[in-house]
Amino acid sequence: MSISTVTHLNFHGQARAALEFYHSVFGGQITVTTYGDFGMPAELPGAANVVFGQVVADSGFRVMAYDVPGEDGPVAAGTTRRENGTTLTEDPFFVSVRGETAEEVGALWERLADGATVVEPYGPSPWAPAFGMLTDRFGVTWILDVATEGA
């Protein structure tokens, strides 16, 4: 079993600029995928914002980032908002845990989910064999996913 944790930074419209900056500092590969790339109509506000981004350098540096849907501007720790009847906590970072198989990551998910609020249920996603997001009983938001080739 091999897992890794990665800093996952959250922005309101600045994720692309931040990723480009970190890429200029650390080098490596940059990946930027927008909400539009996943099917949001281009004319809608936020379609050009980042839904998945990362910089991975040969040195071992890795950071992930995305734009939280909604207003532009900095994300303040502990900010909450309601969306579709759900209260969401927005923090400037998540803890991202990535493993090699859906089974090994799923076992971690089950343990972390004890007393947690599930934001996105664990299961297949368009970008990974398995993905899920939850906020644990201590208020820390976790993203768990299965590595894909090139991730």
What is the per-residue pLDDT for 53? 95
Q: What is the pLDDT of residue 71?
A: 64
Q: Give yes or no for residue 81 having a pLDDT over 90.
A: no
| pLDDT score, position 83 | 59
Residue predicted with more confidence, 77 or 114: 114
pLDDT for residue 94 is more than 90: no
Q: Is 102 helix (H, G, I), strand (E, B) or coil?
A: helix
Least confident of 1-10, 24-33, 97-106: 1-10
pLDDT band at 64 (very low <50, low <70, confident <90, very high): very high
| Nearest residue to 19 via CA among 58, 48, 50, 59 | 50
Angle, CA 77 vertex, CA 117 and CA 13 arms, to 5° = 100
CB 133 within 8 A of CB 117: no
> pLDDT confidence of 82, banded at 50, 70, 90?
low
| Cα radius of gyration rounded to whole Å, the chain | 15
Whole-number pLDDT of residue 88 = 59
* pLDDT of 109 above 70: yes
Render pLDDT for 16-26 as a digit per residue (tens, 0 to 9).
Answer: 999 998 999 78
CATH topology of domain 3-146: 2,3-Dihydroxybiphenyl 1,2-Dioxygenase; domain 1 (3.10.180)
**pLDDT greater than 60 at residue 87:** no
Q: Which of 36, 49, 33 is nearest to 128 (CA)?
A: 33
Q: Are the CB atoms for 41 and 50 separated by under 8 Å?
A: no
Residue 139 gets the label, from left (phi > 0), alpha (psi -120 to 50) or beta, of left
Could you state, in order of their start, the residue ranges of all structural domains in the chain?
3-146
Q: What's the pLDDT band for 151 if we cut at 50, 70, 90?
A: very low
Q: Which of 127, 6, 4, 128 is nearest to 55 (CA)?
A: 6
pLDDT tens column, 29-55: 999 999 999 899 999 999 999 999 999
